[in-house]
Amino acid sequence: MNDLPALPAFPVSRPRRLRRTAALRRLAGEVSVRPGDLILPMFVAESASEPRLIGSMPGVVQHSLDSLAKAAIGAVEAGVGGLMLFGIPMHKDPVGSGADDPHGILNLALARLKFELGDATVLMGDLCLDEFTDHGHCGVLSTDGSVDNDATLQRYASMALAQAEAGADLLGTSGMMDGQVGVVRQALDGANRSDVGVLAYAPKYASAFYGPFREAVDSSLTGDRLTYQQDPARGAREALAEVALDVAEGADMVMVKPALPYLDILAAVSAASPVPVAAYQVSGEYAMIEAAAERGWIDRERVVLETLLSIRRAGAAMILTYWAHEAAILLR
């Protein structure tokens, strides 16, 4: 028995060595989230004289112009990297006339924040008709009730010029119409606004996770958006094709929406995209975590930061999240 060879100490490798202290974990960490990586989506309602709570999104409100300015300044002071604005008009019509009206709520809000903040943040406008149409779709309808892609593009071009004039730095083309980025880019360049960038929603899926957002913008939608937003059953091949088209048409950035249910898509897009990639942690993702935290089932702050870290780990350079202001404070 004394002649048996000595066995190597077990285990030979001890990965736990690099987890032993917080300092070691920080040193070995490969992914981080900074406040400047976060973008805060904000809602502003024409009819609001003070902030109005959104029932399905605890902590999120429909702002008045004054409360929007105050909240935006606070978020930027906390280090948030950008603001994405959504407008909620008092009156809607079939073509979404309020979307390109210089005195429409979204354009007034962009102008107000540009005046208040200047270039201290990246100011973004949602370039889509759904909040402004009485039917709730992202485009103009044909006589048969379907969304008319090419007629919608003309509305998007007009919206782009209105938002650029109001002060937007980036335009979020979220309607998922074919050719939308090219038309918007052409309109901007033709008006000598080549300084304004395009954040293309590519890919954006027809997801059930948008439910609370419909309440947030007082959506008038009947039916669904399956004919223009992407099918969740399609994989990365279609997503990458959408990204390639938008980049070829002039997109400065692209965005995957939603985020957590589509981390595989986000990883594929991030690996292939020649431009920066964003991800949108949408209303349903937010609402589920808030609901579970309210019941004491999860550690809210840890889960919030972990989800943001997971989206960054999948490849997002920036994240739109309703926790942007709070997370910026926690991260600092």
Return the amino acid letter for 160. A
Measured distance CA(133)–CA(196) in Å, rounded: 25
Is omega for the bond preceding 11 within 30 degrees of 0, making it cis?
A: yes
pLDDT of residue 278: 98
Do the beta carbons of residue 209 and residue 283 sit within 8 Å?
yes
**Neighbour-count burial of 203, counting CB atoms closer than 10 A to its CB (0-12 exposed, 13-18 middle, 19+ buried):** buried
Model confidence over 129-162: pLDDT tens digits?
999 999 989 999 999 999 999 999 999 999 999 9
Query: Could you tell me what percent of the chain has a pLDDT over 90?
Result: 89
pLDDT at 121 over 70: yes
Do the beta carbons of residue 230 and residue 206 sit within 8 Å?
yes
Model confidence over 277-312: pLDDT tens digits?
999 999 999 999 999 999 999 999 999 999 999 999
Measured distance CA(47)–CA(266) in Å, rounded: 37
Model confidence over 90-106: pLDDT tens digits?
999 999 999 999 999 99
Please say whether the dihedral angle defined by the alpha carbons of residues 116, 131, 322 and 153, taken in this order, is positive or negative: negative
pLDDT of residue 2: 64
* Cβ-count burial 15-24 (b if 16+ within 10 Å, e if not): eeeeeeeeee
Q: Looking at the annotation, which residues are catalytic?
A: 204, 257
Provide the pairing of β-strand 52-53 with 61-63. antiparallel
pLDDT at 58 over 80: yes
The class of domain 32-331 in CATH terms is alpha beta
Q: List the one residue out of 266, 242, 268, 251 whose CA is nearest residue 318.
A: 266
Measured distance CA(154)–CA(158) in Å, rounded: 6
Continuous H helices in 227-323: 236-249, 263-272, 283-294, 300-313
Model confidence over 171-222: pLDDT tens digits?
999 999 999 999 999 999 999 999 999 999 999 999 999 999 888 987 888 7
Do the beta carbons of residue 135 and residue 141 sit within 8 Å?
yes
Instruction: Specify the long-range contacts of residues 293-302, CB closer than 8 Å, at least 24 apart.
Output: 294/58, 301/330
Give helix then strand counts, H and E, for the chain: 11, 10
Cα distances from 321 to residues 19, 57, 311, 326, in angstroms, run 29, 12, 11, 10
C-alpha angle 177-180-183 in degrees, rounded to nearest 5: 150
Return all residues near 112 (Cβ < 8 A) that are at least 6 apart: 65, 68, 69
First to last CA, the chain: 61
Using a cut of 0.85, tell me whether the model's pTM lies above it. Answer: yes
- Residue 30 burial (CB count, 10 A): 5
Q: Which tokens sit at 68? A: 């929007």
pLDDT of residue 5: 74
